[in-house]
Each structure stands twice: as structure tokens, then as C-alpha cells.
Amino acid sequence: MLPSELALRDLLNEGTPEPADIGWFVARQPGIVGFLERALGPTDPFAVALEGAYLLCKEMERRTGVPPARLTGSLLERAHAAAQTEARASRSPGSDGLAARQPELTAWVVDFVAFTAIPLTEREAAAASACLAAIVYALDEVVTGRPVP
């Protein structure tokens, strides 16, 4: 297992964030919170996705040494559309899809939603996963400069 895979497993097993950490995250990333509210409403998938978004941002901070820039609603909507299009299309192995850009984070999203403490229906899990995939795409753009396709 690669060191980065170990760090992601640790992140998955870290446990529920403290309320103060989530409060800081909400203040730091209001675009993410608004995006999740619009996409998921006040539901269990929202709670799962909010925790996942917090952990994804924390992982990006660990990787870069600084908190990621604020994600805007327009970037997140564009990333969400790209993630949904990608999910419906078959991608070739060499393509520039999310799994090619961020393979570890893409696999982490799948595991995170599958093993969340809040039971989700298949439809709810798919909605939460799509939102988290959009967040990974958006984080990839602000950290690497590669535009969301």
C-alpha cells in the first residue's frame, strides 16, 4: 500500500469530526455547503456529504500544506455536471476523467459512502457520491489548475 493510500485509510477511519471543526469548515467553505444544500436538501445524504467534504478538504490541506481555496457555487455546479456526465459515459483507461486525475480520492469517495454510519438507500448513496465527486473535481481544479472538463 502506498503512503498516500495509508493516509486516506486513516482519514476514512478518523471518526466523526468535532462540531467546532465542522463549524470552521462551514465558515471557510460556504460554497460547498450551499451546493450540498441545493443538491441534497436537508437529508441524510447531505449529512454524509458534508462530513465527506470536510474530510476531502482536510486531505487536500494535508497534501498541499494549506487549506484549499474557497470553492464557488459556479465551479461546484460545473464540476457536478462533469461528474454526472462522466458517470453516465464509459471512459477509456487513458482518459482525463476523475479517476485518472485523482484515483485515490475517487476510490476514497466510494468507500466513504459505502461505509458511512448513516444508512443510505442506493439512490441516496449515488446522490451523495455524485456531490463528493464534484467536490473532488473542484478541489483538483483549484489545487492543480487543471480545469474541470
Q: Which residues of 87-114 are buried (b: 16+ CB within 10 A; e: fewer)?
A: eeeeeeeeeebbbebbebbbebbeebbe
CA angle in degrees (0–180, nearest 5) for 88-68-71: 55
- Percentage of the chain with pLDDT > 70? 83
Q: In the structure grid, which three cell numbers stand for residue 43, read together? A: 437529508
Single-letter amino acid code for the residue at 138: A
pLDDT in tens, 37-46: 999 999 999 9
pLDDT in tens, 103-118: 999 999 999 999 998 9
- 3-state secondary structure at position 93: coil
Longest dimension (CA), the chain: 42
Interatomic CA distance for residues 47 and 85, integer angstroms: 24
pLDDT in tens, 11-34: 555 566 776 678 889 999 999 999
pLDDT in tens, 116-147: 989 999 999 999 999 999 999 999 999 999 99
